[in-house]
Amino acid sequence: MISHALRFVLAGGIALVLLAGDVRADKLVVPSDAWPTIQSAVDGALPGDVIVVAGGKYAENVVISGASDLVLRGKGGARITAGDGVGIRVEQSVGVTLRNLIVKDGSADGIAVEDCSEVRVVLCAVRAVDGDGIRVEGGTLNRVDKNFVRDVGGSAIVLTSAGGDGDGDAQRVASVARNRIVAPGRDGVRVAGDEHVVRKNRVLDAGRDAFAVEQGDTGTGNVFRSNVALRPERWGLLADGLGSTFARNRVRDSVLAGGAVFGADHVVRKNRIDRAGGAALFVGGATNTLHHNKLIKAADRGVLVEGDGNTLRKNLIIASGADGIEVTSAGNTFVRNVVAGSGGLDINDALAGAGLNVYVKNVFGTSNLP
């Protein structure tokens, strides 16, 4: 049995450890006599500290470098006016959280996260900056959640390789969820690297693509799920690289195509694309699988297949302005698709006479198949 004296010593030791932990869990309030600016608080913070920024306007370019387990949190409308630089830059840090901050009126990116791990950008707003809204370069396990990005000159949210040019270390396993994006000059959400998850975001009036795996990127295993794209100027969904999944997304009123599939081994399933200005889906890559999609009232073709070895299964394609499905390539398989009400043919296979594509139990009203 443990003696009363030993119990007293153990209890006292535990209390001292807890007190020592509490000493460094400081709250730094901006503005205050000790911390007149956000940057002064960042420079004075230690791991575990929370910086609380009171409502008001701050003409600063905040840099968080080499930090760990730091929270920078706005309260009551804390607005950072970025001016000639990046509003908030987080570099080579671990476990930093940016929360409830507004960044606006800058000539560069609103928020930049570079070579970091486990950084969270949550419930922030970025508007009226000339660069990207939120840019994450390199690193792993970063999260961009529940933010509002509006009227930025570049893309709203970008996940890219270290260095930002695709030549640095690939970024891995980031999450972009539940963000609302309005009128970015370029893309809504653009990713490069591997195994990112982009889900439940809403993009309105993108100047280029709404949701995209960067063209030419060799990233693998990215997932785009349950996103909404309204009125993108080019494509609602853009797949490149290898083995990404686009599932349960909705695209409406895209100016060009509803979606474009390059690269290989992607899965495009259970998406709905309405009133695309061009084709609902363009398939330029190889060995991709498209199934259970609903493609409604495209101004041009429902699906244009130019790549080899793709599989289209159980898709519903209704009231396309031109052909329901047009195929100009070989080695593709079409199984149990339903196509109706097309302005041209429901199926138009340029290689129909050669029998280079396979058709199984499809429902076509009109076709050029032998």
In a domain, 176, yes or no: yes
pLDDT recorded at residue 171: 57
In a domain, 156, yes or no: yes
pLDDT recorded at residue 219: 76
How many C-alpha atoms does 230 have within 13 Å on its Cβ side? Answer: 8
In a domain, 301, yes or no: yes
| Dist. CA 365–CA 324, nearest whole Å | 10
Tell me 7's DSSP state. H
Domain assignment of residue 340, given as a range = 83-364
**Residue 130 belongs to domain with CATH number:** 2.160.20.10
In a domain, 62, yes or no: no
Per-residue model confidence as pLDDT tens digits over 53-63: 999 999 999 99
In a domain, 130, yes or no: yes
pLDDT recorded at residue 12: 45
List the single range of 97-101, 159-163, 365-369 with lowest mean pLDDT: 159-163
This prediction has a pTM of 0.90
Tell me 172's DSSP state. B
State the burial class of residue 300 (Cβ atoms within 10 Å of its Cβ: 0-12, 13-18, 19+): buried
Contact 69, 47 (CB under 8 A): yes
* Domain count within the chain: 1
Tell me 354's DSSP state. G
In a domain, 68, yes or no: no
Per-residue model confidence as pLDDT tens digits over 77-92: 999 999 999 999 999 9
pLDDT recorded at residue 31: 97
Q: Average pLDDT in the 236-240 region?
A: 96
The rounded percent of the chain whose pLDDT value lies above 90 is: 85
Contact 228, 248 (CB under 8 A): no
Q: Which residue has the higher pLDDT, 3 or 224?
A: 224
CA proximity to 97, closest of 45, 160, 163, 22: 45
Per-residue model confidence as pLDDT tens digits over 268-316: 999 999 999 999 999 999 999 999 999 999 999 999 999 999 999 999 9
Q: Average pLDDT in the 108-137 region?
A: 97
Q: Average pLDDT in the 230-259 region?
A: 96
In a domain, 207, yes or no: yes
Token pair recorded at residue 366: 């009109």
In a domain, 248, yes or no: yes
CA proximity to 337, closest of 299, 294, 279: 294
